[in-house]
Structure formats: C-alpha cells, structure tokens
Amino acid sequence: MCLCALLWVAGLVGGASAAPEVARSFQDQRTPAPGKPLAIGDYSAGCVQGARPLPLSGQGYFVMHPSRLRYFGHPMLVDFLQTLGRAVKTRHLGVLLIGDMSQPRGGRAPGGHASHQTGLDVDVWYWQPKLGSAGTLSAGDRESLKARSVLDTKTEAMQAALATRVEHLLQLTASDPHVERVFVHPFIKRELCAKQSSDHAWLGKLRPWYGHDDHFHVRLACPADSPQCTPQAPVPAGDGCGAELDFWFSPAAQKDREQGQKDYESKVTHARAMPEACLQLLQ
C-alpha cells in the first residue's frame, strides 16, 4: 500500500476537509475494484466494489460519451439496462442513449452530479438522434452529441413528437421492480399525471426534481446482499400527482423551492466524507 493510501485511511474518515482529495482519487481509478459486487455507502457519498462495465452498445441502447469512463455499475444496474434495452427494441421505441452511470469504483465524479456514487444510478436521455441505415450511431456521434430538452420552451409541455416515446420509456422503467426512483422534470410528471391513465401506480416512482428535462435519472434500490448500502426513505404511497406535485407549481412554495435548489447545489459542489470501506477500494 502506498503512503498516500495509508494517509487517506488513517486521516480522512469523517474528515470533510479531505473529501475533495478522496473524490479526485476515485476519478483516477481506471478499473473496477476486484471482489464481490457491493454497493457501499449512500448514493451521494459511496462507492462500488466489483462493478461491471456496460458493453458500449447492445440491443436497444448505446453508451454516450464513453471516454468519460462512467459506464460502470453494480451488476444489477448493468442487467437492468440490458433488459430495458431489449424491451425498448421489442416495442419499437427507438434506442436508449445511456448517459452517466458510475466511475469504475464509483465515488464522486466531477461536473454536476452529487450522486451516481454507488453503481446504482444512471442517466438516460429522452431524445434520440436519427440513426444510420443499419440502426447505428457512429463512435464520433456517441462522443460528441449532447442530450436535448424534451420540453417545448413556449408551452412548457413535452414536444409532441416525443411525448409518446417519453411516456412509454418512463412507464417501462418505473415498472421494473429493481427501480426505486426515477427523477424527472416537474413539467413532465405533471403532464403524465394529467393523462390519468387507468394504470398509473407506476407514476409514484417518478420524482419531480430540478433539471431532468433532457434526461431521466434512474435509481435502483440497494441490493439485498450489499449490507453497507444506505437505503433512501421509501417513496411515499400513491401516484404523487396531488399535493406533492403541487409544491413544484405553487407560488407559496417558491421560497422552499429556492432553498431546495441551494441545498442541492451545495451537495453538488461539496464532496462529503466517504465510508471507510470505500477508502479501502483506493488501496
């Protein structure tokens, strides 16, 4: 073990001031940590042992921006995405474009994420570009294309051409028993709630959250055999289309929303201390 790793293990557990260095060292990891697959810690301060890479393309999906090396996850996440890709293909819903999963050993990734640290989170784009004649997307496109908002800026509704695809993608995703939450833009949830389909229990897993108009963020529940994975509070019962959704639109809640946005931004910009079991993955 190198001296730097010893210092981390000895001095950084619980030391918030050192957390950014730990975050940087997770960013430097190029391979998964060996061993039994384990999600460790919480979604915003954790890591993953025994992660698997999602193959860069497969039935019904492509990994985007692969040079970022964020296509790793707990095997449960990899299996979930491959299953979802096959379902999307079978239903002729186009392809899934997979954004960030986790780094090879999880931990904090630079730029915009507080979570995605335990190998259980993934961003999936709503939009998809025109594919080549063989249903392909070039390596250059996969590296350079960016996610696009699905909302019409004037009407605040989903763009008509994409609304059906988005609804089907979200229903398929939220209906998977491994999925605990799916973060979406509040306008998207409102629109789906307004449709009042006869089977709308799946809507409860859609959680309105800031941003998320160009991708949805899927979070799997802690795997049963990862005892150090910190679960989140269960999603409240019901479809979440009532008062809970009103919060995002009520003028009275404006201040609370602004505070929520500030709290979230501070989570994104401040690395938190990691569990000791995560520091061991850096040795």
HSE-CB for 210 with a 13 A CA cutoff: 14
Using alpha carbons, list the distances in angstroms from residue 7 to 12, 20, 25, 272: 7, 14, 13, 17
Q: Can residue 108 be called a binding residue for Zn ion (CB under 5 A)?
A: no
Distance from C-alpha of 117 to C-alpha of 281, rounded to nearest angstrom: 13
Minimum CB–partner distance for residue 228 and Zn ion (Å) = 22
Minimum CB–partner distance for residue 136 and Zn ion (Å) = 26
Q: Which of 62, 97, 123, 226 binds Zn ion (CB under 5 A)?
A: 123
Minimum CB–partner distance for residue 196 and Zn ion (Å) = 28
Minimum CB–partner distance for residue 91 and Zn ion (Å) = 24
DSSP state of 50: S
Contact pattern from residue 18 through residue 57 relative to Zn ion, giving x for each residue in contact according to CB under 5 A and a dash for the rest: ----------------------------------------
Beta bridge partners of 53: 72
Q: Can residue 212 be called a binding residue for Zn ion (CB under 5 A)?
A: no
Minimum CB–partner distance for residue 90 and Zn ion (Å) = 26
Q: Can residue 217 be called a binding residue for Zn ion (CB under 5 A)?
A: yes
Q: Which of residues 190 and 217 has its CB atom nearest to Zn ion in the complex?
A: 217
Task: State the residue for tokens 């060996």.
Answer: 34
Residue 38 phi/psi, 5° resolution? Answer: -145, 125
Minimum CB–partner distance for residue 14 and Zn ion (Å) = 26
Q: Which of residues 42 and 123 has its CB atom nearest to Zn ion in the complex?
A: 123
- What are the structure tokens assigned to 47, written together? 């890591």
Distance from C-alpha of 36 to C-alpha of 281, rounded to nearest angstrom: 12
Q: Which of residues 12 and 206 has its CB atom nearest to Zn ion in the complex?
A: 206
Q: Which of residues 101 and 241 has its CB atom nearest to Zn ion in the complex?
A: 101
Q: Which residue is nearest to Zn ion (CB)?
A: 217
Residue 12 phi/psi, 5° resolution? Answer: -105, -5
Q: Which of residues 104 and 279 has its CB atom nearest to Zn ion in the complex?
A: 104
Q: Which of residues 12 and 221 has its CB atom nearest to Zn ion in the complex?
A: 221
The terminus-to-terminus CA distance of the chain in angstroms comes to 6
For 106-165, the DSSP string reads: BSPPSSS-S---SS-EEEEES--PPPPTTS---HHHHHH------B-TTT-SB-HHHHHH
Q: Which of residues 45 and 279 has its CB atom nearest to Zn ion in the complex?
A: 45
Instruction: Find the part of the chain contacting Zn ion (CB under 5 A) among 31-39, 126-134, 217-225, 252-260.
Output: 217-225
The residue ranges that bind Zn ion (CB under 5 A) are: 123, 217
